[in-house]
Structure 1
Amino acid sequence: MSVPAQEPEATAVAADGLATELAAVLARMGGVLLSAETVETALNLVARLAAQTVPASVGAGVTIADQRGRRTTAATDAVVEQADALQYRFDAGPCLTAWRDHELVRIDDVVTESRWPQWCGSVRELGVLSVLSAPMLAGQDAIGAIKVYSDEVGAFDARSAALLALFADQAAILLANTQTVTQTRELAEQMTLALENRDVIGQAKGILLAQGAGSADAAFRMLVAVSRRTNRRVAEVAKRLVASVDAQRQLENDAAEE
């Protein structure tokens, strides 16, 4: 079943101390995630905490996805990995529905569930009998979903749904922040690399000009030709040329000092 975001029973349960119960878990998660160096590390931590947080869970998984279909996943065990892989293979399942439709999804019994018969039939063979999946919403966008699996029929109730929904909301904020930090770091590294490549290519062109290349364009074409012949990037060819010239100069300087 799809669980409405404002389901009365779930809302009442949440008001009945559920947020308080989550406080310690979320504090722990926040402290760990804020020091995580990669999104993958953060995902693994969230998956483990989700499995510990929702009663009756035997495993949990987290998926971050974008509209182009790129996914980053984490799972607490091999069964979760296999169940998730089946969703991606069939392009259908509760986790993908939670992400795409921005709704919490609960399966009480995969045997009687009719929405994803192929997936349900396959995960039943893995020992998965009930499922709960919540979208991770960052503003109006779903960055992914968290899911927990159980080997019992009817393992998850309204309280479980409210618990996972609250957990997913906080995880989404933390993962979005971690993802932004990681992307910013990667962009900075790429920009630094591009500047370094530009400088070394310029040095290599200068060396080739000194050795007789007719122009800067001609020198660059020489680098490109070597790049194609050796199947190396132009920047790598340039670095090798600069390094070889520097080494030769060092040898000459050492010889002169002797």
Structure 2
Amino acid sequence: MTSDGLEHESVIGQPVVGQPVVGQPAVDQPAVDQPAVDQPMEEELVDVFLCMSGLLLSEQTVGSALELVTSLAHSTLPSTSAAAVTLVDERGRRTSVAATDPLAEQADSLQYELQEGPCLTALAHERVVRVHDVAREQRWPRWSQAVLPLPVRASLTVPVVIAGTCMGAIKVYGRHPGSYGAHAERVLTLFAQQAGVLIANMQSLEDARRMSQELQQALISRDTISTAKGIVMAREGVDEESAFARLVRTSQRSGKKLHVVAASIVQAVPRRGR
């Protein structure tokens, strides 16, 4: 049985970190849920993507962004019981986030526990995976049997790939067999693309903030060490080089970082009363 899989994405607008890649065609029996006449996708989802464009320009967290994506996917695709996103970290650990209903987390958890299921296959092969009827599904027999007590009879999973790296997958679970066909696949692929753009932009923003915080901390540490040197120079009558050498020796003997030693010296100096 296969396991692990991710979603593809592409962009409307310019992502900060690289453009998500669209996945391969779905693997599954043909479903029967296409509308009689497919509306043009640009008109059909214009309000959805306007909402997302506003989110791209804001400073909301990745979690908030993904919650918007899954809630819109849930409401846009008929017969959907729940939607969620699976994220994969640098160690390959999978986590379900932004679930619109605990049902999605339950269905996902069974896949993680049994190491098989449509989401894991989508992640492993980086392609869309569609389940027409869970009760008749034979590709993942243990998961199919385990999920039957839940109101899940169909599913659709689209991987998200950003700049050549698999980041996760977005999936919807349907309450009726045949809930998702080619039309639903195209719609969810667009949501996957938007999720990729959001993740890329939000990660870039978080990286920039982290770098700023690290720089700020480095400057604070430098100032603290400089102040501690001045205290040692005044207290022991040594020059700047000797004072710094004493701080270094204290750091080595105590096993504490230099800025921690310096901070303790500064804090130990009695402050003048106001």
Task: Please give the TM-score of this superposition, normalised by the length of structure 1.
Answer: 0.78
Find the counterpart in structure 2 of residue 41 from structure 1. 64
Alpha-carbon distance between aligned partners in 1 of 2:233 and 2:142, rounded to the nearest angstrom: 65
Aligned partner of 1:135 in structure 2 is 159
Name the Cα RMSD after superposition.
3.4
Aligned-pair distance for 1:141? 3.4
2:51 is aligned with 1:28: yes
Find the aligned partners of 1:202 and 1:121 in 2 and give their Cα distance.
Answer: 66
Distance (Å, rounded) in 2 between the aligned partners of 1:33 and 1:14: 31
Residue-by-residue CA offset, 1:59-102 (whole Å, 9 max, x unaligned):
11113324532556321122212222333334433223223322
1:142-199 Cα distance to aligned partner (Å, 9 max, x none) = 3221111122222112211111112212221232112211222222212322332233
Q: Which moved more, 1:157-166 or 1:130-139?
A: 130-139
Letter in 2 for 1:220: V
Which residue number corresponds to residue 109 of structure 1?
A: 133
CA distance in 1, matches of 2:142, 2:152: 14
Is contact 2:56–2:201 with CA below 8 Å preserved after alignment?
no
Which consecutive residues of structure 1, in runs of 5 or more, have no partner in the other structure? none
Say yes or no: does 1:166 pair with 2:190.
yes
Letter in 1 for 2:25: A
User: Aligned runs of 1:1-258 on 2, under 5 Å?
Assistant: 4-5=24-25, 16-71=39-94, 73-208=97-232, 210-212=234-236, 215-223=243-251, 235-236=259-260, 238-245=262-269, 248-251=270-273, 254=274
Quick one: structure 1 residues 206 and 15, their matched pair in 2 at CA, closer, same or farther if it must change by over 3 Å?
Answer: farther
Could you tell me how far apart the structure 1 residues matched to 2:49 and 2:224 are?
47
Relative distance call for 1:194 and 1:100 in structure 2 (3 A) is farther
Is the CA contact 2:247–2:258 (under 8 Å) kept in the aligned structure 1?
Answer: no
Work out whether residues 111 and 143 of structure 2, in 8 Å CA contact, stay in contact via their aligned partners in 1: yes
> Counterparts of 2:235 and 2:37 in 1: how far apart (Å)?
76
The 1:200–1:58 alpha-carbon spacing in structure 2 relative to 1, beyond 3 Å, is same
Shift of 1:56: 1.2
Show structure 2 runs of 5+ residues with no match.
1-22
Amino acid at match of 1:54: L
Identity of aligned residues (%): 39
Kindly provide the CA deviation profile for residues 197-246 of structure 1, in whole angstroms up to 9, marking residues without a partner as x. Answer: 23323433443454449652432343465576xxxx7645543442342x
Higher relative contact order (CA closer than 8 Å, sequence separation 6+): 2
State the distance in 1 between where 2:208 and 2:255 align: 30
Which amino acid letter does the alignment assign opposite residue 152 of structure 2?
V
TM-score (structure 2 length as normaliser):
0.74
Q: Which secondary structure does the structure 1 equivalent of 2:60 belong to?
A: coil
Tell me how far apart the structure 2 counterparts of residues 199 and 91 of structure 1 sit (CA, whole Å). Answer: 52
CA distance in 2, matches of 1:194, 1:85: 41
Return the alpha-carbon distance in structure 1 between the equivalents of residues 113 and 199 of structure 2. 25
Instruction: Check whether the contact 1:209–1:219 (CA below 8 A) recurs between aligned residues.
Output: no
**Secondary structure at 1:5 match in 2:** strand
Q: 1:34 to 1:67 in 2, by over 3 A?
A: same
Does the 8 Å contact 1:14/1:159 carry over to 2?
A: no
1:118-152 CA-to-partner distances (Å, cap 9, x unmatched) read 33333223332211111123344332211111222
Q: Distance in 2 between matches of 1:218 and 1:23?
A: 66
